[in-house]
Amino acid sequence: MTTPRPAAVIVLAAGEGTRMKSATPKVLHSIGGRTLLGHALAAARGVDPLHLAVVVRHGRDLVAAHIAEVDPDAVIAEQDDVKGTGRATECALYALPADLAGTVLVTCGDVPLLTAETLRGLLQAHAASGSAATVITATLPDPFGYGRIIRAADGSVAGIVEQKDATEAQREITEVNSGLYAFDVAVLRAALAEVGTDNVQGEKYLTDVLGIAGEKGLRVSAHLIRDLWQTEGVNDRVQLSRLGAELNRRIVEGWMRAGVTVIDPATTWIDADVRLGRDVIIHQQTQIHGVSIVGDDVVLGPDTTLTDVSIGDGAAVIRTHGSLSVIGAGALVGPFSYLRPGTELGAKGKIGTFVETKNAQIGVGSKVPHLTYVGDATIGEHSNIGASSVFVNYDGVSKTHTTIGSHCRTGSDNMFVAPVTVGDGAYTGAGTVVRRSVPPGALAINVAPQRNLLGWVHQKRAGTASAKAAMAATSALAASEQSPSVADDPANVTEGNATA
Protein backbone atom coordinates (compact mmCIF):
# COMPACT_ATOMS: atom_id res chain seq x y z
CA MET A 1 0.00 0.00 0.00
CA THR A 2 1.28 3.46 -0.92
CA THR A 3 1.93 5.65 2.08
CA PRO A 4 0.36 9.12 1.73
CA ARG A 5 2.76 12.00 2.20
CA PRO A 6 1.91 14.02 5.32
CA ALA A 7 1.49 17.76 5.06
CA ALA A 8 3.55 18.14 8.23
CA VAL A 9 5.02 16.40 11.22
CA ILE A 10 4.95 18.29 14.53
CA VAL A 11 7.44 17.17 17.17
CA LEU A 12 6.63 18.29 20.72
CA ALA A 13 9.88 19.12 22.54
CA ALA A 14 8.95 21.92 24.94
CA GLY A 15 8.90 19.99 28.22
CA GLU A 16 11.29 20.72 31.07
CA GLY A 17 11.89 17.13 32.13
CA THR A 18 12.32 17.91 35.82
CA ARG A 19 12.73 14.25 36.74
CA MET A 20 15.98 14.13 34.77
CA LYS A 21 17.44 16.47 37.41
CA SER A 22 19.74 17.98 34.83
CA ALA A 23 20.81 21.36 33.51
CA THR A 24 20.52 19.82 30.04
CA PRO A 25 17.03 19.86 28.51
CA LYS A 26 15.56 16.36 28.53
CA VAL A 27 15.32 16.03 24.76
CA LEU A 28 19.07 16.73 24.43
CA HIS A 29 20.10 13.69 26.45
CA SER A 30 21.48 10.98 24.20
CA ILE A 31 21.25 7.28 23.50
CA GLY A 32 22.74 5.43 20.55
CA GLY A 33 24.82 8.39 19.45
CA ARG A 34 21.85 10.71 18.94
CA THR A 35 19.86 12.96 21.24
CA LEU A 36 16.33 11.91 22.06
CA LEU A 37 15.19 14.74 19.81
CA GLY A 38 17.60 13.57 17.10
CA HIS A 39 15.90 10.18 17.07
CA ALA A 40 12.49 11.85 16.86
CA LEU A 41 13.57 14.03 13.94
CA ALA A 42 15.03 11.05 12.09
CA ALA A 43 11.74 9.15 12.41
CA ALA A 44 9.79 12.21 11.27
CA ARG A 45 12.00 12.75 8.22
CA GLY A 46 11.53 9.08 7.36
CA VAL A 47 7.94 9.75 6.25
CA ASP A 48 9.00 12.62 3.95
CA PRO A 49 6.73 15.39 5.28
CA LEU A 50 6.22 18.60 3.34
CA HIS A 51 6.97 20.48 6.58
CA LEU A 52 8.60 19.56 9.87
CA ALA A 53 8.00 21.72 12.95
CA VAL A 54 9.50 21.36 16.42
CA VAL A 55 7.89 23.02 19.44
CA VAL A 56 10.40 24.34 22.01
CA ARG A 57 10.25 26.19 25.31
CA HIS A 58 12.48 24.92 28.16
CA GLY A 59 16.14 25.43 27.24
CA ARG A 60 14.93 27.10 24.09
CA ASP A 61 18.32 28.35 22.86
CA LEU A 62 20.09 25.02 23.41
CA VAL A 63 17.31 23.02 21.78
CA ALA A 64 16.98 25.41 18.84
CA ALA A 65 20.74 25.32 18.23
CA HIS A 66 20.65 21.53 18.18
CA ILE A 67 17.76 21.50 15.73
CA ALA A 68 19.65 23.88 13.45
CA GLU A 69 22.60 21.48 13.54
CA VAL A 70 20.83 18.18 12.88
CA ASP A 71 17.88 19.36 10.75
CA PRO A 72 18.33 22.95 9.56
CA ASP A 73 15.17 22.81 7.43
CA ALA A 74 12.92 22.21 10.42
CA VAL A 75 10.65 25.05 11.55
CA ILE A 76 11.07 26.07 15.19
CA ALA A 77 7.88 27.04 17.02
CA GLU A 78 7.87 28.47 20.54
CA GLN A 79 5.21 27.54 23.06
CA ASP A 80 3.86 30.43 25.09
CA ASP A 81 2.81 30.48 28.75
CA VAL A 82 -0.30 28.35 28.16
CA LYS A 83 0.55 24.82 29.22
CA GLY A 84 -0.29 21.53 27.58
CA THR A 85 0.25 19.45 24.48
CA GLY A 86 -2.78 21.01 22.81
CA ARG A 87 -1.30 24.47 23.13
CA ALA A 88 2.09 23.22 21.94
CA THR A 89 0.47 21.79 18.81
CA GLU A 90 -1.47 25.01 18.28
CA CYS A 91 1.77 27.03 18.45
CA ALA A 92 3.28 24.74 15.82
CA LEU A 93 0.31 25.29 13.51
CA TYR A 94 0.81 29.05 13.85
CA ALA A 95 4.37 28.61 12.57
CA LEU A 96 3.29 26.50 9.57
CA PRO A 97 1.63 27.85 6.41
CA ALA A 98 -1.92 29.06 6.96
CA ASP A 99 -3.15 27.16 3.90
CA LEU A 100 -1.74 23.84 5.12
CA ALA A 101 -4.03 20.98 4.10
CA GLY A 102 -3.97 17.23 4.50
CA THR A 103 -2.68 15.02 7.29
CA VAL A 104 -0.53 16.22 10.17
CA LEU A 105 1.36 13.83 12.42
CA VAL A 106 2.08 14.84 16.01
CA THR A 107 4.94 13.02 17.77
CA CYS A 108 7.05 13.50 20.89
CA GLY A 109 10.69 14.49 21.26
CA ASP A 110 11.32 12.02 24.07
CA VAL A 111 10.21 8.74 22.40
CA PRO A 112 13.50 7.59 20.85
CA LEU A 113 12.57 4.08 19.70
CA LEU A 114 9.73 5.25 17.48
CA THR A 115 10.52 4.37 13.86
CA ALA A 116 9.57 5.85 10.52
CA GLU A 117 8.07 2.47 9.64
CA THR A 118 5.58 2.78 12.51
CA LEU A 119 4.68 6.32 11.45
CA ARG A 120 4.09 5.06 7.90
CA GLY A 121 1.77 2.42 9.35
CA LEU A 122 -0.12 5.16 11.20
CA LEU A 123 -0.50 7.18 8.00
CA GLN A 124 -1.77 4.17 6.09
CA ALA A 125 -4.29 3.23 8.80
CA HIS A 126 -5.46 6.82 9.07
CA ALA A 127 -6.04 7.11 5.33
CA ALA A 128 -7.64 3.66 4.97
CA SER A 129 -10.19 4.31 7.74
CA GLY A 130 -11.11 7.79 6.51
CA SER A 131 -10.64 9.11 10.04
CA ALA A 132 -10.41 12.71 11.14
CA ALA A 133 -7.99 11.63 13.86
CA THR A 134 -6.03 8.45 14.59
CA VAL A 135 -4.00 7.71 17.71
CA ILE A 136 -1.34 5.06 18.19
CA THR A 137 -2.25 2.95 21.20
CA ALA A 138 -0.70 0.10 23.16
CA THR A 139 -1.92 -2.34 25.77
CA LEU A 140 0.09 -2.26 29.00
CA PRO A 141 -0.12 -4.65 31.95
CA ASP A 142 0.45 -1.65 34.23
CA PRO A 143 -1.02 1.47 32.60
CA PHE A 144 -0.44 3.79 35.57
CA GLY A 145 0.38 7.33 34.49
CA TYR A 146 -0.91 6.97 30.94
CA GLY A 147 -4.02 8.42 29.38
CA ARG A 148 -6.69 5.72 28.86
CA ILE A 149 -8.40 5.03 25.55
CA ILE A 150 -12.19 5.18 25.79
CA ARG A 151 -13.71 3.06 23.05
CA ALA A 152 -17.18 3.54 21.52
CA ALA A 153 -19.48 0.61 20.84
CA ASP A 154 -18.34 0.41 17.21
CA GLY A 155 -14.68 0.18 18.22
CA SER A 156 -13.81 3.75 17.35
CA VAL A 157 -12.25 6.07 19.93
CA ALA A 158 -14.76 8.05 21.95
CA GLY A 159 -12.06 9.94 23.83
CA ILE A 160 -8.93 9.83 25.95
CA VAL A 161 -8.91 10.52 29.68
CA GLU A 162 -5.73 11.38 31.55
CA GLN A 163 -4.67 9.42 34.66
CA LYS A 164 -5.40 12.32 37.04
CA ASP A 165 -8.83 12.93 35.53
CA ALA A 166 -9.88 9.27 35.21
CA THR A 167 -12.53 7.57 37.31
CA GLU A 168 -11.78 4.32 39.12
CA ALA A 169 -13.44 2.35 36.33
CA GLN A 170 -11.50 4.19 33.64
CA ARG A 171 -8.22 3.49 35.43
CA GLU A 172 -8.88 -0.23 34.94
CA ILE A 173 -8.54 0.23 31.16
CA THR A 174 -5.20 -1.14 29.89
CA GLU A 175 -5.23 0.39 26.40
CA VAL A 176 -3.28 3.62 26.63
CA ASN A 177 -2.50 6.70 24.62
CA SER A 178 1.00 6.87 23.15
CA GLY A 179 0.86 10.62 22.48
CA LEU A 180 1.41 9.92 18.76
CA TYR A 181 -1.35 11.06 16.39
CA ALA A 182 -2.48 11.64 12.84
CA PHE A 183 -4.99 14.46 12.27
CA ASP A 184 -6.80 16.08 9.41
CA VAL A 185 -5.31 19.54 9.75
CA ALA A 186 -8.62 21.39 9.32
CA VAL A 187 -10.22 19.30 12.04
CA LEU A 188 -7.19 19.82 14.27
CA ARG A 189 -7.26 23.62 13.91
CA ALA A 190 -10.96 23.89 14.58
CA ALA A 191 -10.96 21.53 17.57
CA LEU A 192 -7.96 23.20 19.24
CA ALA A 193 -9.85 26.47 19.19
CA GLU A 194 -12.50 24.80 21.38
CA VAL A 195 -10.15 23.09 23.83
CA GLY A 196 -10.04 24.68 27.28
CA THR A 197 -7.96 24.19 30.42
CA ASP A 198 -10.71 23.02 32.78
CA ASN A 199 -8.92 19.98 34.15
CA VAL A 200 -6.87 18.94 37.19
CA GLN A 201 -3.59 20.17 35.69
CA GLY A 202 -4.96 23.33 34.11
CA GLU A 203 -3.52 22.38 30.73
CA LYS A 204 -4.79 22.49 27.18
CA TYR A 205 -4.82 18.78 26.32
CA LEU A 206 -4.28 17.60 22.76
CA THR A 207 -6.28 14.51 23.72
CA ASP A 208 -9.43 16.65 23.98
CA VAL A 209 -9.30 17.08 20.19
CA LEU A 210 -10.31 13.44 19.77
CA GLY A 211 -13.40 13.87 21.93
CA ILE A 212 -14.44 17.05 20.12
CA ALA A 213 -14.03 15.37 16.74
CA GLY A 214 -16.14 12.43 17.92
CA GLU A 215 -18.88 14.73 19.19
CA LYS A 216 -19.08 16.27 15.72
CA GLY A 217 -19.72 12.85 14.21
CA LEU A 218 -16.23 12.48 12.75
CA ARG A 219 -14.47 9.15 12.95
CA VAL A 220 -11.63 8.79 15.46
CA SER A 221 -9.59 5.59 15.25
CA ALA A 222 -6.96 3.78 17.25
CA HIS A 223 -3.91 2.19 15.62
CA LEU A 224 -2.83 -0.49 18.10
CA ILE A 225 0.84 -1.55 17.91
CA ARG A 226 2.48 -4.48 19.67
CA ASP A 227 5.97 -3.02 20.03
CA LEU A 228 5.53 -1.22 23.34
CA TRP A 229 9.08 0.13 23.28
CA GLN A 230 8.13 2.51 20.47
CA THR A 231 5.58 4.24 22.66
CA GLU A 232 7.78 4.56 25.75
CA GLY A 233 9.07 8.01 26.61
CA VAL A 234 12.03 9.07 28.73
CA ASN A 235 11.20 10.82 31.97
CA ASP A 236 14.23 10.06 34.14
CA ARG A 237 17.73 8.65 33.83
CA VAL A 238 16.59 5.14 34.68
CA GLN A 239 14.35 5.14 31.63
CA LEU A 240 17.11 6.78 29.59
CA SER A 241 19.43 3.89 30.39
CA ARG A 242 16.74 1.28 29.88
CA LEU A 243 15.76 2.57 26.45
CA GLY A 244 19.41 3.03 25.52
CA ALA A 245 20.11 -0.62 26.26
CA GLU A 246 17.08 -1.75 24.25
CA LEU A 247 18.02 0.48 21.32
CA ASN A 248 21.53 -0.93 21.33
CA ARG A 249 20.21 -4.50 21.49
CA ARG A 250 18.15 -3.79 18.38
CA ILE A 251 21.03 -2.16 16.53
CA VAL A 252 23.47 -4.98 17.33
CA GLU A 253 20.93 -7.64 16.37
CA GLY A 254 20.23 -5.82 13.12
CA TRP A 255 23.91 -5.83 12.17
CA MET A 256 24.28 -9.50 13.03
CA ARG A 257 21.39 -10.28 10.69
CA ALA A 258 23.12 -8.16 8.04
CA GLY A 259 26.30 -10.25 8.12
CA VAL A 260 28.37 -8.96 11.05
CA THR A 261 29.76 -11.33 13.66
CA VAL A 262 29.41 -10.00 17.20
CA ILE A 263 31.21 -12.23 19.70
CA ASP A 264 29.54 -10.79 22.78
CA PRO A 265 26.43 -8.67 22.08
CA ALA A 266 26.06 -7.85 25.79
CA THR A 267 29.32 -5.86 25.82
CA THR A 268 29.14 -4.41 22.31
CA TRP A 269 27.74 -0.93 21.69
CA ILE A 270 27.02 0.41 18.20
CA ASP A 271 25.56 3.86 17.59
CA ALA A 272 22.63 4.42 15.25
CA ASP A 273 24.67 6.19 12.56
CA VAL A 274 27.50 3.63 12.37
CA ARG A 275 27.86 1.73 9.10
CA LEU A 276 29.45 -1.74 8.99
CA GLY A 277 30.58 -3.83 6.03
CA ARG A 278 30.11 -7.52 5.41
CA ASP A 279 31.98 -10.14 7.46
CA VAL A 280 33.12 -7.65 10.09
CA ILE A 281 34.07 -9.38 13.35
CA ILE A 282 33.51 -7.45 16.58
CA HIS A 283 35.06 -8.85 19.75
CA GLN A 284 33.87 -8.20 23.28
CA GLN A 285 34.02 -4.85 25.08
CA THR A 286 33.94 -2.86 21.85
CA GLN A 287 32.10 0.43 21.31
CA ILE A 288 31.64 2.02 17.88
CA HIS A 289 30.28 5.55 18.11
CA GLY A 290 29.33 8.53 16.00
CA VAL A 291 29.32 8.16 12.22
CA SER A 292 32.05 5.54 12.06
CA ILE A 293 32.27 3.67 8.75
CA VAL A 294 33.78 0.19 8.73
CA GLY A 295 34.65 -1.72 5.56
CA ASP A 296 34.38 -5.42 4.78
CA ASP A 297 36.36 -8.13 6.60
CA VAL A 298 37.48 -5.81 9.40
CA VAL A 299 38.33 -7.15 12.86
CA LEU A 300 37.53 -4.86 15.80
CA GLY A 301 38.44 -5.39 19.44
CA PRO A 302 38.46 -6.64 22.02
CA ASP A 303 38.49 -3.62 24.34
CA THR A 304 38.21 -1.00 21.61
CA THR A 305 36.41 2.34 21.49
CA LEU A 306 36.10 4.18 18.17
CA THR A 307 34.29 7.45 17.48
CA ASP A 308 33.87 8.92 14.00
CA VAL A 309 36.51 6.60 12.56
CA SER A 310 36.69 5.34 8.98
CA ILE A 311 38.26 1.89 8.48
CA GLY A 312 39.18 0.27 5.15
CA ASP A 313 38.58 -3.31 4.11
CA GLY A 314 40.58 -6.02 5.85
CA ALA A 315 42.01 -3.83 8.62
CA ALA A 316 42.32 -4.91 12.25
CA VAL A 317 41.98 -2.63 15.27
CA ILE A 318 42.77 -4.24 18.62
CA ARG A 319 42.54 -2.72 22.12
CA THR A 320 42.54 0.79 20.74
CA HIS A 321 40.95 4.14 21.55
CA GLY A 322 40.45 6.31 18.48
CA SER A 323 38.47 9.29 17.24
CA LEU A 324 38.16 11.32 14.03
CA SER A 325 40.71 9.12 12.31
CA VAL A 326 41.12 7.19 9.06
CA ILE A 327 42.57 3.68 8.93
CA GLY A 328 43.50 2.30 5.53
CA ALA A 329 42.70 -1.09 4.03
CA GLY A 330 44.71 -3.96 5.45
CA ALA A 331 46.23 -1.78 8.18
CA LEU A 332 46.92 -3.00 11.71
CA VAL A 333 46.31 -0.87 14.80
CA GLY A 334 47.06 -1.89 18.38
CA PRO A 335 47.06 -3.30 20.85
CA PHE A 336 47.04 -0.33 23.25
CA SER A 337 47.10 2.41 20.62
CA TYR A 338 45.62 5.89 20.98
CA LEU A 339 44.48 7.57 17.76
CA ARG A 340 43.63 11.20 18.30
CA PRO A 341 41.83 13.42 15.77
CA GLY A 342 43.57 13.93 12.45
CA THR A 343 45.27 10.54 12.33
CA GLU A 344 45.39 8.99 8.85
CA LEU A 345 47.03 5.60 8.46
CA GLY A 346 47.64 4.37 4.93
CA ALA A 347 46.85 0.96 3.51
CA LYS A 348 48.84 -1.90 5.05
CA GLY A 349 50.34 0.50 7.58
CA LYS A 350 50.80 -0.15 11.27
CA ILE A 351 50.30 1.78 14.47
CA GLY A 352 51.43 -0.52 17.23
CA THR A 353 51.63 -1.01 20.95
CA PHE A 354 51.63 2.08 23.17
CA VAL A 355 51.68 4.47 20.22
CA GLU A 356 49.85 7.80 20.34
CA THR A 357 49.14 9.76 17.17
CA LYS A 358 47.60 13.18 16.57
CA ASN A 359 47.20 15.10 13.32
CA ALA A 360 49.50 12.54 11.73
CA GLN A 361 49.43 11.35 8.12
CA ILE A 362 51.18 7.99 7.85
CA GLY A 363 51.69 6.67 4.32
CA VAL A 364 51.03 3.34 2.67
CA GLY A 365 52.96 0.49 4.28
CA SER A 366 54.63 2.69 6.88
CA LYS A 367 54.93 1.46 10.45
CA VAL A 368 55.09 3.02 13.88
CA PRO A 369 55.40 -0.22 15.84
CA HIS A 370 55.71 0.71 19.51
CA LEU A 371 56.27 3.18 22.36
CA THR A 372 56.09 6.30 20.23
CA TYR A 373 54.30 9.66 20.01
CA VAL A 374 53.63 11.04 16.52
CA GLY A 375 52.06 14.49 16.63
CA ASP A 376 51.71 17.02 13.80
CA ALA A 377 53.65 14.91 11.35
CA THR A 378 53.68 13.46 7.86
CA ILE A 379 55.34 10.11 7.24
CA GLY A 380 55.78 8.92 3.66
CA GLU A 381 55.35 5.43 2.29
CA HIS A 382 57.07 2.26 3.55
CA SER A 383 59.01 3.98 6.31
CA ASN A 384 59.67 2.54 9.77
CA ILE A 385 59.82 4.60 12.95
CA GLY A 386 62.01 3.12 15.70
CA ALA A 387 60.74 2.32 19.18
CA SER A 388 60.47 5.01 21.85
CA SER A 389 60.56 7.91 19.41
CA VAL A 390 58.94 11.29 20.05
CA PHE A 391 57.89 13.86 17.49
CA VAL A 392 58.57 17.00 19.49
CA ASN A 393 55.89 19.27 18.07
CA TYR A 394 55.41 21.87 20.82
CA ASP A 395 57.91 24.50 21.95
CA GLY A 396 55.73 25.91 24.71
CA VAL A 397 54.19 28.53 22.45
CA SER A 398 53.26 26.97 19.12
CA LYS A 399 53.06 23.61 17.40
CA THR A 400 55.06 22.84 14.28
CA HIS A 401 55.29 20.03 11.77
CA THR A 402 57.71 17.17 11.13
CA THR A 403 58.04 15.41 7.78
CA ILE A 404 59.55 11.96 7.35
CA GLY A 405 60.03 10.84 3.76
CA SER A 406 59.37 7.49 2.13
CA HIS A 407 61.49 4.36 2.70
CA CYS A 408 63.12 5.88 5.79
CA ARG A 409 64.48 3.89 8.74
CA THR A 410 64.71 5.82 11.98
CA GLY A 411 66.47 4.46 15.04
CA SER A 412 65.08 3.77 18.48
CA ASP A 413 64.79 6.57 21.02
CA ASN A 414 64.83 9.36 18.44
CA MET A 415 63.59 12.89 19.10
CA PHE A 416 62.39 14.79 16.02
CA VAL A 417 62.40 18.44 17.08
CA ALA A 418 59.96 20.21 14.77
CA PRO A 419 60.09 21.80 12.34
CA VAL A 420 62.36 19.27 10.69
CA THR A 421 62.41 17.09 7.55
CA VAL A 422 63.98 13.68 7.02
CA GLY A 423 64.47 13.03 3.30
CA ASP A 424 63.48 9.93 1.36
CA GLY A 425 65.58 6.86 2.05
CA ALA A 426 67.40 8.46 5.00
CA TYR A 427 68.39 6.69 8.23
CA THR A 428 68.84 7.96 11.77
CA GLY A 429 70.88 6.29 14.48
CA ALA A 430 69.60 5.12 17.85
CA GLY A 431 69.31 7.88 20.42
CA THR A 432 69.54 10.66 17.85
CA VAL A 433 68.02 14.07 18.50
CA VAL A 434 67.15 15.35 15.04
CA ARG A 435 67.23 19.14 15.17
CA ARG A 436 68.25 19.79 11.56
CA SER A 437 66.82 18.40 8.37
CA VAL A 438 68.36 15.18 7.07
CA PRO A 439 69.09 14.97 3.30
CA PRO A 440 67.75 12.03 1.30
CA GLY A 441 69.87 8.92 1.75
CA ALA A 442 71.89 10.36 4.66
CA LEU A 443 72.51 8.86 8.10
CA ALA A 444 71.89 11.25 10.98
CA ILE A 445 73.73 10.57 14.25
CA ASN A 446 74.75 12.79 17.14
CA VAL A 447 75.80 10.29 19.82
CA ALA A 448 78.82 11.24 22.01
CA PRO A 449 81.53 8.59 22.60
CA GLN A 450 80.79 6.31 25.53
CA ARG A 451 83.06 6.46 28.59
CA ASN A 452 83.28 3.85 31.36
CA LEU A 453 84.41 5.27 34.72
CA LEU A 454 86.15 2.33 36.35
CA GLY A 455 85.70 1.82 40.06
CA TRP A 456 82.93 4.36 40.38
CA VAL A 457 80.57 2.03 42.28
CA HIS A 458 83.29 1.00 44.76
CA GLN A 459 84.06 4.66 45.45
CA LYS A 460 80.58 6.15 45.48
CA ARG A 461 78.35 3.25 46.54
CA ALA A 462 80.61 1.29 48.89
CA GLY A 463 78.85 -1.35 50.95
CA THR A 464 75.82 -1.62 48.68
CA ALA A 465 74.59 -4.80 47.00
CA SER A 466 75.78 -3.34 43.71
CA ALA A 467 79.31 -2.88 45.06
CA LYS A 468 79.39 -6.45 46.35
CA ALA A 469 78.16 -7.82 43.03
CA ALA A 470 80.70 -5.76 41.11
CA MET A 471 83.54 -6.94 43.37
CA ALA A 472 82.56 -10.58 42.84
CA ALA A 473 82.36 -10.15 39.09
CA THR A 474 85.74 -8.35 38.95
CA SER A 475 87.37 -11.15 40.94
CA ALA A 476 85.91 -13.73 38.59
CA LEU A 477 87.20 -11.89 35.55
CA ALA A 478 90.67 -11.52 37.05
CA ALA A 479 90.79 -15.26 37.74
CA SER A 480 89.97 -16.16 34.17
CA GLU A 481 92.95 -16.13 31.85
CA GLN A 482 90.66 -16.35 28.82
CA SER A 483 88.71 -13.18 29.60
CA PRO A 484 90.02 -9.91 28.13
CA SER A 485 90.73 -7.14 30.57
CA VAL A 486 88.35 -4.21 30.55
CA ALA A 487 91.39 -2.04 31.15
CA ASP A 488 92.54 -2.79 27.60
CA ASP A 489 89.53 -0.88 26.24
CA PRO A 490 90.56 2.76 25.58
CA ALA A 491 86.98 3.85 26.38
CA ASN A 492 87.55 2.87 30.01
CA VAL A 493 89.15 5.56 32.13
CA THR A 494 89.91 5.90 35.79
CA GLU A 495 88.81 9.07 37.46
CA GLY A 496 88.92 9.02 41.20
CA ASN A 497 86.43 11.86 41.48
CA ALA A 498 84.21 10.80 38.61
CA THR A 499 80.50 11.50 38.92
CA ALA A 500 77.58 9.82 37.24
Give residue-wise pLDDT tens across range 219-270. Answer: 999 999 999 999 999 999 999 999 999 999 999 999 999 999 999 999 999 9
| 258: Cα separation from own chain's centroid | 21
pLDDT at 145: 86
pLDDT at 447: 78
pLDDT at 198: 85
Query: 7 versus 474: which is more confidently predicted?
Result: 7
Domain ranges for the chain: 8-231, 260-444, 452-493
pLDDT at 159: 87
Residues sharing a CB contact under 8 Å with residue 160, sequence separation 6 or more, in sequence order: 135, 147, 148, 149, 150, 177, 207, 210, 211
Q: What percent of the chain has pLDDT over 90?
A: 88
Mean pLDDT of the chain: 94
Residues with catalytic roles: 370
pLDDT at 492: 61
pLDDT at 500: 37
Q: What is the mean pLDDT of residues 271-279?
A: 98
Q: Which residues of 306-345 are buried (b: 16+ CB within 10 A; e: fewer)?
A: bbbbbbbbbbbbbbbbbbebbbbbbbbbbeebbbbebbbb
Q: What percent of the chain has pLDDT over 70?
A: 96
pLDDT at 80: 94
pLDDT at 486: 52
Please give the Cα distance from 409 to 386 (Å, whole number).
7
Least confident of 192-206, 301-315, 336-350, 361-375: 192-206
Q: What is the mean pLDDT of residues 168-178?
A: 94
> Which CATH number applies to 8-231: 3.40.50.300, 3.90.550.10, 3.65.10.10, 3.40.50.2300?
3.90.550.10
Least confident of 48-57, 160-169, 309-318: 160-169
Q: Mind listing the pLDDT tens digit for each residue in 46-86?
A: 999 999 999 999 999 999 999 999 999 999 999 999 999 99
User: pTM for the full model?
Assistant: 0.90
Architecture of domain 260-444: 3 Solenoid (2.160)
Q: What is the mean pLDDT of residues 431-449?
A: 94
CA torsion 282-286-291-294 (nearest 10°) is -30
